[in-house]
């Protein structure tokens, strides 16, 4: 993994055309000044995000959140994501208001440093939610799904869902083997570290788990709902002040996918399952609040959400794959997330019958 700091990596990867590259902070400060009429006093990079480089800018009168999109980003798609966030806000979803540039554009890509600018929102990220926070997260997710269900894009075929159902365990096993080969070479060279030892163990366990994927897919209900979702609804994209959910962040472009995925991922989030001994009660609280906020949700989507969450975890090597093939901006965080995701997959497999019963009870409690 590169020893460069995030700032140094950004300067190396995204140089300006001048003989001496302008540091990203200075270049983005100039964008905020020239394109947003913001008088920036300080700008600090935040240790969050893997796909964008994020900053807190203190300006005269207020702070703003600045999201810098790397070169090659589909800014047209990102504009649709920003528009979806604004739509949610108009439906009384707590989302950060976008700050338009002087030409009333959602994203400024007039320079080599494409950015979006947002009002700074109060609150903090909480990765393991208490009962009140679970209820609030479920309520807001239910209201997001209810608000987005009528969108024209929600009625479009979901190519992403079609691909998701055709996951290839053999291909996943091949990727696991490739990662194991890297670790083996490190062991032979005497350069293996503690994470290599841990990764070897978890990858071997994951390879065994892959045999469960075809059966789990075949047992899903024949028809699951797809519609426009938040796209990345998880604790890392929620801000809380106490039990109050103050902001939902980082909506993705509107593309239909499984309702059961969005719900299951949040209800059985890795930090919750791996770190909270009462994780099933937390899931019960969250899903019950979701049902109350989105009563039109199909029973099949509730019943399937645990297994869909499990299948998503089993079919993903996110974190460990980056470690060995292309490290992320904050790879230590990804390493830890791999561990939590793997532990969660094992826990859901071990308690699958109990999870199924929990979801059946929640359906029965609605009296439908």
Alpha carbons 274 and 282: distance in angstroms, whole number: 12
Would you list the domain boundaries of the chain? 6-119, 131-365
Q: pTM of the entire structure?
A: 0.89
81: helix, strand or coil: helix
Share of the chain above pLDDT 70, in %: 93
* Cβ density class 219-248: b for 16+ within 10 Å, e for less: ebeeebbbbbbbbbbbbbbbbbeeeebbbb
Rounded to an integer, the average pLDDT of 32-53 is: 91
Predicted local confidence at residue 368, as pLDDT = 62
Q: Could you read off the pLDDT of 122-152 as tens digits, one per residue?
A: 999 999 999 999 999 999 999 999 999 999 9
**pLDDT exceeds 90 at position 20:** no
Residue-wise pLDDT for 170-198, tens only, equals: 999 999 999 999 999 999 999 999 999 99
Where residue 23 falls among pLDDT bands split at 50, 70, 90? Answer: low
The rounded mean pLDDT for the chain is 91
CATH topology of domain 6-119: Phosphorylase Kinase; domain 1 (3.30.200)
- How far apart, in whole angstroms, are the C-alpha atoms of residue 357 and residue 363? 10
Q: Do domains 6-119 and 131-365 have the same CATH topology?
A: no
- In this prediction, residues 324-353 reach a mean pLDDT of 92
Rg of the chain in Å (alpha carbons) = 22
What is the arithmetic mean of pLDDT over 105-129? 95
Confidence (pLDDT) at 22 = 52
Say if residue 11's pLDDT is above 60: no
Q: Is the pLDDT of residue 1 over 80?
A: no
Tell which phi-psi region holds residue 296, choosing left (phi > 0), alpha (psi between -120 and 50) or beta: alpha
Q: Please provide residue 65's backbone torsions phi and psi, each rounded to the nearest 5 degrees.
A: -100, 130
pLDDT at 10: 33
| Token representation of residue 293 | 């906020």
Class of domain 131-365: alpha beta
Q: What is the CA angle 138-139-145, rounded to 5? A: 90
In the predicted model, is pLDDT for residue 207 greater than 70? yes
């Amino acid at each position: 993994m590169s020893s460069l700091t995030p700032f140094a990596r950004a300067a190396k990867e995204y140089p300006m055309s001048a003989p001496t590259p302008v540091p990203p902070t200075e270049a983005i400060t100039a964008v905020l000044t020239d394109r947003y009429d913001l008088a920036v006093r300080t700008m600090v990079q935040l240790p969050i995000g893997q796909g964008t480089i994020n900053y807190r800018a203190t300006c005269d009168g207020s702070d703003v959140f600045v999201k810098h999109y790397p070169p090659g980003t589909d800014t047209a798609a990102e504009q649709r994501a920003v528009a979806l966030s604004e739509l949610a806000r108009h439906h009384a979803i707590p989302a950060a208001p976008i700050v338009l540039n002087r030409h009333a554009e959602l994203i400024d890509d007039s320079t080599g440093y494409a950015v979006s600018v947002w009002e700074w929102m109060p609150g903090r990220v909480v990765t393991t939610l208490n009962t009140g926070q679970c209820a609030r997260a479920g309520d807001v997710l239910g209201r997001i799904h209810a608000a987005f269900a009528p969108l024209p894009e929600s009625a479009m075929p979901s190519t992403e869902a079609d691909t998701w159902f055709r996951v290839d365990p053999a291909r996943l096993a091949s990727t696991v083997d490739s990662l194991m080969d890297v670790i083996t070479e490190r062991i032979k060279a005497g350069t293996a570290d503690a994470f290599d030892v841990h990764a070897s163990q978890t990858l071997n366990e994951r390879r065994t788990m892959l045999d469960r994927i075809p059966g789990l897919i075949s047992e899903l209900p024949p028809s699951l709902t797809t519609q426009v979702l938040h796209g990345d609804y998880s604790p890392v994209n929620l801000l809380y002040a106490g039990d109050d959910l103050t902001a939902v962040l980082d909506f993705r472009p509107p593309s239909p996918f499984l309702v059961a995925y969005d719900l299951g991922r949040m209800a059985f989030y890795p930090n919750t399952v791996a770190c909270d001994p009462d994780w099933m009660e937390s899931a019960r609280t969250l899903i019950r609040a979701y049902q109350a906020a989105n009563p039109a949700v199909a029973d099949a989507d509730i019943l399937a959400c645990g297994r869909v969450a499990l299948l998503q975890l089993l079919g993903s090597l996110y974190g460990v794959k980056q470690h060995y093939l292309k490290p992320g901006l904050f790879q230590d965080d990804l390493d830890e997330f791999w561990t939590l995701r793997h532990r969660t997959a094992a826990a859901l497999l071990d308690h699958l019958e109990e999870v199924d019963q929990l979801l059946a009870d929640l359906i029965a409690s609605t009296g439908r």
